[in-house]
Structure formats: C-alpha cells, structure tokens
Amino acid sequence: MIYKHIFAQQALLATGWRQNVLIEWDENGVIRRVTADVSSPAVGETAGCLLPGMPNLHSHAFQRGFAGLTEYRHGRQDSFWSWRNLMYAFAARIAPEQMEAIATWLYAEMLAAGYTSVCEFHYVHHQPDGAPYADPALMCRSLLNAARNTGIGLTLLPVCYQNGGFGGQPAAALQQRFIQTTAQMLALWEMLLPLCQRQDARLGIAPHSLRAVDPGNLAALVAGVRSMDAAAPIHIHIAEQVKEVEDCVAWSGQRPVAWLLEHAPVDARWCLIHATHMNEHEYRMAAATGAVVGLCPTTEGNLGDGIFDYPLWRGHQGRWGIGSDSNSVVSAAEELQTLEYSQRFHLRQRNIGASDAFPEVATALYLDAVSGGAQASGRDVAGIAVGQRADMVELDCRHHAVAGLPVEKALSGHIFGSSRTSAIRRVWTGGTLRVDGARHLLRDQALAGFIDMRKQLFKAGA
C-alpha cells in the first residue's frame, strides 16, 4: 500500500507548522499517512521546509505567449477592452503545436513557481477562420499533452463562448475561433471525458461569462454537464469590469453576480472568476452558496480591473483561491503578495490577510488559497493530508530570503522578501519529483520549444 515517503524537518499542514513529519503515499501518488514528531527514518528522502503545492485556479495558457508585449500605449486611453483586442489578435494566430509549446513551457514554469495543479480555462477551439478542426478536441489535446509531459495536475475547463455581448449580440470576427453551440460543447465534453480520465485530469466546464452565453444556453449547458458528472467544476468570469456590470444592469436590471445567483444553481462546485465588482448584498449571498471566488491579483492589476473587498468576503467566511490568469506573472508567492498589497493600498492598513489562527499573513493566505483552490479544481489537492495527492513544495533553506529564519517566518520571507527571486528548491506532484534545484526537469527542452514558437509567431504576425 505504502509506496514512498519523505521526512520533513518542518511541514505546513492545514493546522499549521509541524516538526519532524513523515509523509507516506501509495503507488497512485495519494497520501496515506502523515505523522508528526517522529524520528528520521534510516532511508528515504528528506526535506527541510515543506509546503503543500498550490492549486492555480485560473489560467489561459496561450496568453503566456504574449506576456509583457501589451505594455505600450495603444489607444487614447487604454483599458481591459483595448488589451482584449491585442489578445484576440494574438489568439487568432496560434496553431495547435504552438499552443502545446506555450503550455508546456508555462506549466514547467508554474511547477517551478509552486503551482502543482492548474485549472485551464480554454477557449481557442477552432481554426483561425472559425471552422472546426477535423478533430474538435485538437486544441484540448495540446493542453492535455503539456500537462502530462510536465506533470502538473490539470482541471480542463473547455469554454462555451457564443455571443459578443449581453442580450445575444453577434460575436466579432476575432471571436470566431471560440464559438461553440451548446450541442457542440456537450459533444466535445463527452469526447474529452475519457481523455481526461486516462491521465488523471479533471474535466469541468466554463460558460465564459454572462456576456458570452445567454440564459437559455447557460441552463442547458449546466444541466447537460451535470447529467454526465454531477460534481464537475463549473467556472465563469463574472464581474471583472465596471463596464461589464453596467452592461449587465442595462440588459437585465441586475448586476452580474446577483443575476447569476438568482438564475443558476450556484453551489460549492462553482468558481466565480474575478468577482471583483460586487455590492454588499452580493458579497453576502455569494459567500453563502459555498462557491469559491477566483482572485487573480497580478492580472487584475495589469488589466486595471479594480480591487476585491477581501475583508468583507472573509467576514462572510467566503472561500477563495488564486489564479495566474493572463500569465504575465507566474508565481504563487507574487499573487499572494499582490493580493495583500492591493488591500493595503486601498485600506491604508497592514496585515489584512492575517487571521486569529495564523497571525503570519503568509501562512494564513497560503493555507486559505490551497483549500479554496483545491475546491475549485475538483481534485484532491487540499494540502498535506491523508487522501490528498502528494503535491509538495520544498523551500530552499539556503536561499537569502529564507536562510537563518525560524520556519513560520520562512514562508513570509519567501512571499514578502524574495524580491522577484524564488526560494523554491524542489516540487513534487503525486509524489513524483518535477522540479529540482529550482528548475523543472524538462526546463531546457520546454524553453527551446517556447522560443521557437515566439520566433514563428512574431515573424508571421504584425
């Protein structure tokens, strides 16, 4: 039954830091025993300071391919919407093998940055002119291949995108690669189910947003997926931009979160991505459903989205996790730091994320994000505990941000004091080593593929 073990001098469990912890897992990579205060076994792996792996609950992998390339003045006043036009132009040029090259490099980066699983919110389905590929799952296969080859845990969320705006507005030319009817989506979903099961990936569904899917199709999509898997995760972009909220009110008389909660069976299987703009009533009602909110602080900052009211959400015991979203930043530590700093800017206070149980902000935020991220993933990745996957991250005790500190300060050093370096040394998923010496084991090969992709795309493009 027990297959392998690791002995950690310090490990962060859901209850906090424990010393001399033996973690044992089975041949499927599932943790079977966690024992604290034991003496080091004579054989086997040892670690200094071990963290649970962080689930990344929101990623658009292809956007890594143009990270950093939209930071110039494009219109008279740039915004999310002008950025979106640049992003669409990039999305229009990507071929399936380029998608795989980007995702392979990105997932290797994610693992090295402490993310041990990812929810991939995937909407580039068709050929550039909008015609389906002969194999409708071709693009999804690129992502499945990238996850399998790098070893990152995957929750694949094929996106249903149908309209260009609220009230069934027609999609624009650059959105044609995304468009699927509800029947096409459900057929794709059925096709993907065995592919995901074969590699231990979880399949969920993502109605893109209320802008992109009308009420009838949203209901049919959710019911269709529920009939095949009652527990499938459902993710939706919900209230990222003020204009989106205004357009929703003009269309329905309600704000997007309020509309969704009244018209869809939102529960703990749902993840509300960028629930940035909610009123007090929406914060209370959304938290009561048990749904997770997906916070993507570095992307929300990059796109000028606005600031989520973290204290209000936590005041209602709301669940949350972090996502790298546009992937201009790929670092679990930096997402948590940016989340905390966004609150400090706004409230002119410090240590907003600390809790009664965990006065260290880093520890409190980290454990919350692991727990909420696992819920949103629909996978057993909720930390170092029996029944969860052996997804683990080791801090490098010799890194300047961590060296010489007591363990509860080491995580703070990693998140708040590492100055764009990383104190991560080794990473395991399902008990298998993926990152050693701060480098993914396939780093060089993945990077070469990524650079080739960039050369091809930027030669072919504008």
Subset of residues 140 to 169 that bind Zn ion, contact rule: CB under 5 A: none
Q: Strand 54-59 relative to strand 16-25: parallel, antiparallel, unpaired? A: unpaired
Q: Using H for helix, E for strand and C for coil, what is the string for 393-454?
A: EEECCCCCCCCCCCHHHHHHHHHHCCCCCCCEEEEEECCEEEEECCEECCHHHHHHHHHHHH
d(C-alpha 172, C-alpha 440), whole Å: 39
Q: Which is nearer to Zn ion, 239 or 367 (CB)?
A: 239
Subset of residues 360 to 399 that bind Zn ion, contact rule: CB under 5 A: none
Contact characters 125-144, Zn ion, x per CB under 5 A = --------------------
Q: Is the dihedral of CA 69, 72, 74, 78 positive or negative?
A: positive
Q: Which is nearer to Zn ion, 109 or 305 (CB)?
A: 305
Q: Which is nearer to Zn ion, 100 or 325 (CB)?
A: 325
Neighbours of 257 (CB within 10 A): 27
Minimal distance, residue 61 CB to Zn ion, in Å: 11
Minimal distance, residue 300 CB to Zn ion, in Å: 10
d(C-alpha 73, C-alpha 55), whole Å: 34
Subset of residues 24 to 63 that bind Zn ion, contact rule: CB under 5 A: none
Q: Which is nearer to Zn ion, 214 or 325 (CB)?
A: 325
d(C-alpha 422, C-alpha 368), whole Å: 21
Minimal distance, residue 59 CB to Zn ion, in Å: 8
Q: Which is nearer to Zn ion, 120 or 325 (CB)?
A: 325
Minimal distance, residue 7 CB to Zn ion, in Å: 39
Q: Which residue is nearest to Zn ion (CB)?
A: 325
Minimal distance, residue 202 CB to Zn ion, in Å: 18
Q: How many residues form the binding site for Zn ion (CB under 5 A)? A: 1
Q: Which is nearer to Zn ion, 7 or 107 (CB)?
A: 107
Contact characters 275-314, Zn ion, x per CB under 5 A = ----------------------------------------
Q: Which is nearer to Zn ion, 12 or 174 (CB)?
A: 174
Q: Which is nearer to Zn ion, 309 or 325 (CB)?
A: 325
Subset of residues 314 to 333 that bind Zn ion, contact rule: CB under 5 A: 325
Minimal distance, residue 271 CB to Zn ion, in Å: 11
d(C-alpha 323, C-alpha 120), whole Å: 10
Catalytic residues: 274, 325
d(C-alpha 257, C-alpha 261), whole Å: 6
Q: Which is nearer to Zn ion, 282 or 325 (CB)?
A: 325
Minimal distance, residue 325 CB to Zn ion, in Å: 5
Minimal distance, residue 58 CB to Zn ion, in Å: 6
Subset of residues 92 to 111 that bind Zn ion, contact rule: CB under 5 A: none
Q: Which candidate, 25, 113, 169, 65, places its Cα nearest to that of 425?
A: 113
CA distances from 268 to 190, 287, 308, 429 (A): 23, 10, 20, 25
Minimal distance, residue 67 CB to Zn ion, in Å: 14
Q: What is the binding site for Zn ion (CB under 5 A)?
A: 325
